[in-house]
Structure 1
Amino acid sequence: MKFVVSSTDLLSHLSAISKVISSKSTMPILDNFLFGLTDAELTITASDLESTLITHMELDNTEGEGVIAVPAKLLIDTLKEFPEQPLTFQINTDNFSVEIFSDNGKYSIVGQSGEDFPELPEMGEEEATSVTIGPKILLNGIEKTLFATADDELRPVMNGIFVELTPESMGFVASDAHKLVRYRRSDAASEFESSFILPKKPASLLRNLLPKEEYDVKLEFDNKNAMFTLTNYKLICRLVEGNYPSYNSVIPKDNPNKMIIDRLAFYNTVKRVSVFSNQASNLVKLNINDNQLVVSAQDIDFSISAVERLSCEYDGEEIEIGFKSTFLLEILSNISASDVRMEMSDPSRAGLLLPVETEEEAEDVLMLLMPMMINA
C-alpha cells in the first residue's frame, strides 16, 4: 500500500495520540502505531490496553489498502526533523518494510504485522448510554476536578473523576479524602440517570484534545468502557470498576460563618506565609473576626513564623481554623473567580470554598477542604 501525506499534519495527529503509549508496556506491539488504509482514509491507532486513541486523516493520493504496525518513537523523532513537505509512504504488507520518501531522501523502517495489535473493546449496545456534550463543558469539568483525584492503590475508585448524568444536570466529582471538588452544569443533561468513573489518564488525554474541538462530543458508555468521539479523534477507555462513595453526605449543609475575600490576595498571602510553616505539616492558621483575616504559620523547630492581615467581608463568630497550605493553594488556583466565598461551621469540620460569581450561569462549582488540627 502507498499514500502521500503532509509531514506536519501527520506529526500533529501522531503527537496527539502518542501520549497514550505507555513506557512500561508488557506487550512490545503497543510501542507501535497501527496504520490502517481504507478508501483514501488513513486510520492511526495507539493503545496501552486500558486506553485507546484513534485518529483519521483523509488523503488524496493513495494506492491499495492494509494494516501495519510502525514503531512510534522512531516515526515521531523522524517527523520532528522535517520541514513542511509531502512524504510518500510505501509499505510492503508481506515483509512489513516501510519506506518513506521525502523531497531529498529515503528512510527505511521495519514494521510489524498489524494483526498482532489488540482488538478494540466492543460496546454492549443494549446497556450503552449515549449523550452529546459541548466540548467546553467537558473540558471545564475535567480541568476543575482532575487535580483533586487521589493516588490510592487500595481504593481505585478515588483515582478517577466521577461523572454523573441526571435529567437536570451533568456533574463531575473528584476527591482524595482531604479535598473534594464538585462541578455541575445545568446546560448538559441526559434523559435518565447514569454514572461512571473516568480514570485519570484518559481524562488528561481528553484535556489535551478538547481545546481544539469545535463540535459537540459524542459520549457512549456501558458498565466497562467509555467512548468519546471528537471530530478527528476517538478515545476508548476502560472505566474504573466499583461504586463511588456517597460524596453528598460529606458536604456540610449549615455553615453560619461566611467570609468573602479577594481570591488573588488570599492566594498570594497564603503562598508567602506558608514558606514559614512546618515542612512536615504545611499548616497555616486562619483567624477570622470583624472583617479581618489573619493568616499565620510557624515552624517551632527553626524558630520562624509569619503573620499577615487581610480585609474581608465576614459574617459570623470569631473562628480559628487550620488548613494544609498546599491543598488550600491548589483549590484557590483552580477557582476562576475574582472573589471567593468561604463557608465554615467549626474548626473541626470541612470548609467550603465557592466562587462568588461563576463564569457562566449554568455552572455550579463547590470545593471542600478538610481542616487540620491546630496544636495549641
Structure 2
Amino acid sequence: MNRQRLAGLIRKEFLQIRRDPSAIAIAFLLPVVLLFLFGYGVSLNAEHVPIGVVVAQPSPQSSSLVAGLQQSRYFQPRFYTSIQEARKAMMQRQVDGILWLRGPFTRTLLRGDTAQVGVFVNGVDANNARLVEGYLQGVWQNWLEQRANASGTRLLVPIQAEARIWFNPSLRSRDYLVPGLIAVIMTLIGALLTALVVAREWERGTMEALMASPVSMGEILLGKLIPYFLLGMGGMLFSVALAIGLFAVPLRGNFFVLLFFSALFLLAALGMGLLISSVARNQFVAGQVAIIVTFLPAFILSGFIFDIQSMPAPIAFMTHIIPARYFVTILQTIFLAGDIWPLFLGNGLALLLMALFFLGLTWKRSRKRLD
C-alpha cells in the first residue's frame, strides 16, 4: 500500500466529485427531497377525519356530544338529516365514519338508562378505521366524564386505565418516521454513489487506465471508499440537522454514538455499492440493481414503516439479512429513547459483520484484469 498513490487516488475522486454534480445531488439534494416528502407528506396519524353526524332528535345532551367532535382536531363533522343520506355519503367516500344518535337517545339518558349510539366506520383502510374508532371512543369517554362532573356524581367505570406513553408522548408519527428515513437515505447514498461512480469509470474507459497503472486493487478500492464515505457522512449530518432543526425530532441519545453507528452502517452500504459495481459495469444496470437490492428492502423490510413483528414468519426471518433493519432500530432508539447499550451492542455487531462481509466479498471479487 503506497500512501502517495492512495493520496493521489483520493484527490482524483474528490476532483471528480467536484466536477460531477450528480454525486453532490445524491448526497445532499436527495435527503432534502425524501425528508420533505415523508416529513410533510406521510403521516400515520389521522387528523381532520370527515365524519357524518345524524341526530334524530336534537337536544342539549346531543348538542354537547356533537360539540366534542367539533372541538377535536381529529374530526371534521358533517351533518346529515337521515341515516340513509349519511350511508350514501360514506359509500361515496365523502366521510370515513358515521355517528348516529338515534331517536330515543335523549329520553333514555333522562330516564337514567343506558343509551345506544350507532357508529359506522369505513373499514377499507383498516389502520384508519382503528384510529377513527379509538378517537370516537375517546370523545365518548370525555363526554361521559363531563356529564358526571356537571351533575356532581362520579362516573362509575369497572376499570380505570392510566396510560403512560413512553419515548413519544405526543404520538407524532413524524418523530417515528424521520429517524427511520435517515437509514433509507444513507442506504441510497452509500449504494448509489459507489455503484454508479465505479460503473461510470468502466463506461468511460478510465478503469482500464487504472488497471494499467502501478496502483494495487486495494488502493483502488480505498481510493473509492474513503471519499464517498466522507461524502456519505456529510449527507448523514445534513439529514440529522434537518430532522432536529426543521422537523423538531428530539435527539435524546449521544451524538457521537449516533456518529459511530452511522459510520458502521455507511461502510456496509458502501460495501454493497462496490459489490454491485464489480458485477454491473453499466450505470443503468448498476442503478437498477442498487435500487432493487438495497433501497426496496430497506424501505419495506427494515421496520421503517411496516412492523416486522406483524410480518409472516418467513418474511420476518428474511429481514435479518437487511442491514437497514438494525440501523433503523438504533436510530429510533437514539432519537426517541436515548442510549440503550444492550440494544446497541447486538445491532452494532450485526452491522459490523455485514460491513466486513460486503467489503471482504468485494475485495475477493476485485482483480486487476478486464475480464
**Higher Rg of the two aligned structures:** 2
> Normalising by structure 2, what TM-score?
0.21
Question: Relative CO higher for 1 or 2, CA cutoff 8 Å, sep ≥ 6?
Answer: 2
